[in-house]
Amino acid sequence: MTRRVIVGLSGGVDSAVSAALLIEAGHEVEGLFMRNWAEDDAYCTAAEDYESARAVAAQLDIPLHQADFSAEYRERVFADFLAEYEAGRTPSPDLLCNREIKFGEFARHAQQLGAEAIATGHYARLAAHEGRTRLLRARDSNKDQTYFLAATPGTALRDVLFPLGDYEKNEVRALARERGLVNHRRPDSTGVCFIGERPMREFLQHWIAVRPGAIETDEGQVIGEHHGVALYTLGQRGGLGIGGVRGHAEAPWYVVDRDVARNVLVVSQDRGDARLNPTRLTLGQCYWVNEPPKDGAQYGVRVRHRHRPQTAVYRAGPPARLEFAQPVWAPAPGQFAVLYAEEQCLGCGVIEAARIAD
C-alpha cells in the first residue's frame, strides 16, 4: 500500500537513505527538517544540517518543510534534563525527546501537512500484532536504537515507518553510495539528542550552578578536587584528575557515590564495589510500549545503549523493581532500564535506586 509519507530529514545519511527507499517503494514522499535547539553557538550544526537536508531533498526531487520545536523541547525535555543533573542523577534525554518531540510534536505537524505516515532513519522494526504495534530490535544489533525508543507508546508508532530496520549500517552506507546521495560521506552524529556534539562539562556549567568540592575515599581521605558532583556519573573512571596517591595502589579510581548534600565525590579502586554492581533496581516513572510486563516474569534488561541485555525478574510493585540473576555494572539513578522479551522491546522505567540482594 502506497501512502503519503513525511520523512524526518536530518541531513544525515540514514534519513536520506530512508527517503530514497520509500520513494523507490512507490510512496509519495516529502521531507520535514526540525529545529529543536534555539541556542546558536559553535557546537550548533543546525544550519549545516539544514543545508545537507535541502541538498538531499533537491536531489530526490521532494518538497522539504521546516518546523521549529525548540520551545517544546526546552519545556518537555531539556528542563527535566537539567533538573536531573542538579539532583545528582544521570538523565537520558534522548528517550523523552523521541517520545515528546519526534513521535509527538513532529508527528502532529506532519499530520497537519497531510501525512498518512511518518518515517525516520531509526534502526528498529515494527510489527502489528492483535491490533497493537510492537517495537522490535533492528537487524543490526550494534546500531539497534530501540533503547532510545522505549518510552514511546505503541499508539504513537502505529503510522510510523522505519525503512532501515532490516539493514546493517554498512549496507545503508553502500545504498547511499550506489544512489550517489550527496551526503553519503557525512559522518554519523553522536551527540546528545538535539544538543549536539559538545563538551558536556562545559555545556552543563553554562546551565546549572556547580561548585568544586572534595574527592574522597570511603575513609574520608581527600585525594583530589572535582568540578561539581553533577558533572560525574557512577562508575566513571576518566576525567577525575587523580594521580598517584600515597598509600594506595597504582590502579584506576571509580566514582562510587555522589554526595550532593556535602558536595563530595566518593571514589574507590575496587571495580567490584557493591555500589557499582547491584542486583536489584527500583524503578520510578515507567513507560510501556503496550501492556506492562508480567509480574514475576523474566526479561532481558539494558541499563544503557549497547548494554548487552541481562536477565532480570520484573516485580510490578509498587514500586516496580528488577531483580537480576547477576550483578549489573554501574546503573545510575536517572538512567532508564529497558525491558525486552527476546527481540521485542516492552518499554522502560527510570532507575531510582540500586542495591545488592538482601
Provide the annotated active-site residues. 97, 193
Give CA–CA dist 72/101, Å, rounded.
7
* Cell numbers placing 184: 553519503
Closest CA to 6 of 91, 74, 107: 107
Give CA–CA dist 72/78, Å, rounded.
9
Asked if 285 contacts 294 with a C-beta cutoff of 8 angstroms, the reply is: no
Give CA–CA dist 160/264, Å, rounded.
46
Closest CA to 98 of 336, 334, 321, 284: 336
